[in-house]
A and B are shown apart, each in its own frame.
Chain A
Amino acid sequence: MSVLLARLASPKLTLAILAAIAASVLMTEARWSGATEGLAVALSLVVVNLAAATIINPAFRRQSALLVFHLSLIAIILLVASSRLCYLKGHLELAAGESFAGLLTDFEAGPWHRGQLDAAAFTNDGFAVNYDPGLLRGKTVNRVHWNDENGRAHRAVIGDNHPLVLHGYRFYTSFNKGFAPAFLWLPKSGGQTVRGTVHLPSYPMHEAQQSIEWAPPNSTTRIWTTLHIDEPLLDPQRVSHFALPSNYRLVVRAGEARYDLRPGDRVSLSDGILIFEGLSTWMGYTVFYDWTSPWLLASCLVAALSLAWHYWRKFIAPSKPKGE
């Protein structure tokens, strides 16, 4: 048993594992297949190697700071593994005035993610973004509100370095934002009237392609919608602000028919009536969940501080015994 432990704790093995981690990271950078699995194996070996070393290497009993540093490294790796099992990262879009109901446009999550995303409901109350000359994005300010478990209302301003944190989920504004024509759809079949928004491509990133094809709920009619902005909204020569245009046309095409719409205009289509209510905005959010983050931060700080403590005792504290 002790022979096996000694082999697992071998400093040579440590060097080989460090090299293997570096190789796996480089393979990840080069997007080689199997790189992630290789990194996982190498990190697992680190845990085994460090755990064995802390058990049998007497240096760790003499140097408590060094022991704490190595135990912190083990904790960091185990927490990263837990993180990959339980995390969630996704995206969502909300028009101004729209509430988040737990639906994401896309996401990736660990197999053990058991979140309560629908409990993290909030409403987008609109945003403002500044642009420096050259259309370089400046500060993003997004007003939001939500109710807590007791029904108490809360308001906040988020954006850039300030996410909204609800039930462990962190909601971040993003560069992805744009215009959202709001429509009322009245089905001719007598079904329920539906109010909603259509999110045009991100602005100003896709300034020249403000078009999208969509279909009303329970309808087969394909509607091609284009926003024509007849005024300079963002001036690349000076500081400007993202704002709703006051001078615009919304062009709607369904089959061969083409309509220029102003707010309040209605169009009769084959299976319903479409009413254009006005132009709004939408904001794209990134949502991130990882319960390990605070523990990971704590472990990293313990690792760094114990390392500093170890070297301090080794090099600077005059009365302490020296040793590798």
Chain B
Amino acid sequence: MLWAAVAAYAVAGVGALTDVISDRNPGRGVLVALLLALALHTASIAVRWQDVGHGPYTTMFEILSSNVWSLSSVFALAYWRGRALRSSAAIVMPIILMLAAWMLSSDHSAGHVPATYDTVWLWVHMFFGKIFLGGLLVAVGLAGIVLLRGGLEVPQRLPALPENAALDVLAYRFMALAFVFETLMLIVGAIWAQDAWGRYWAWDPLETWAFLTWLSLAFALHTRVSFQPSLRMRAVMILPVFVLAFLTFFGVPFISSVPHQGAV
């Protein structure tokens, strides 16, 4: 079922790329493939949940799986609601597919659920985190299209797609959404950390890099508002924020497993 879901994600990705390369705004076909992938993926997560007795949040496989699901869900919702941002699928879907490929190559065996995970704050923390990363992913997709067209106000490349200025405004909105939800994620994470480890903040690697991501988001939003940089620069500024967030979510767990697991 998981392989079928990834195949459907791939169909959505290929469809989006084909449309954008052909200078067409992706249409309903991509959305249908994405929704099919999500349905299959949801069923796959549910079956595994029943088998192992806990949600997808302990191993790298489970974390990747839940993030592929949540990023796709956020993007599907954005894609459905906003026709102007659909071209961003050409950037977003390859990123999701890359995560899906990583997920398939990860160890599928079940992990241990630390006792500190038995709290509602885990769910709230994860929910806010997923909205944050989803918002940032849509923003980076929009920025990617702007940059693919040279970051010009009146692009020569892919002229049939929505105007760069419109994509830029949408990217700004999704950055703002990401900023609000990262703030909430950090707050709820601190509440959880206070109960689980007896301190609300300890500069462990995950906390440190999440805070650096928050700073970079604040930096990018503040620069945009206060200095009105060029369209191209506004798009470029989104990229390092996404890279930081991506490394925080999927890179830091490789170099440190101390804070977010309580098993000793």
Contact = CB atoms under 8 A, between A and B. Distances in A.
A144 interface: no
B260 interface: no
Contact of B173 (A14, A22, A307, A315): A315
B219 interface: yes
B36 interface: no
Interface size band for B: 35 or more
B112 to A, nearest CB: 4
Given A137-B115, A160-B118, A311 B215 contact: no
B85 to A, nearest CB: 14
Interface in A134-183: 134, 136-140, 159-163, 170, 172, 175
Interface string A197-215: 0000000010000000000
B222 A11 contact: yes
Contacts of B190: 297, 300
B199 interface: yes
**Chain B, interface SS category:** helix
Interface stretch (A24-32, A260-268, A274-282): A24-32
A163 B198 contact: yes
Contact of A11 (B184, B191, B226): B226
B191 A161 contact: no
Contacts, number: 100
B125 to A, nearest CB: 13
Contact of B208 (A25, A163, A300, A314): A25
A26 B118 contact: no
18 contacts: A15-B223, A19-B219, A21-B215, A89-B199, A136-B112, A137-B262, A139-B118, A160-B118, A161-B116, A161-B119, A162-B195, A175-B264, A286-B198, A288-B199, A293-B200, A307-B180, A311-B173, A311-B176
Interface of B: 112, 114-116, 118-119, 173, 176-177, 179-180, 183-184, 186-187, 190-191, 194-200, 203, 205, 208, 211-212, 215-216, 218-219, 222-223, 225-227, 262-264
Interface of A: 11, 14-15, 18-19, 21-22, 25-26, 28-29, 89, 132, 134, 136-140, 159-163, 170, 172, 175, 205, 286-288, 293, 296-297, 300-301, 303-304, 307-308, 311, 314-315, 324
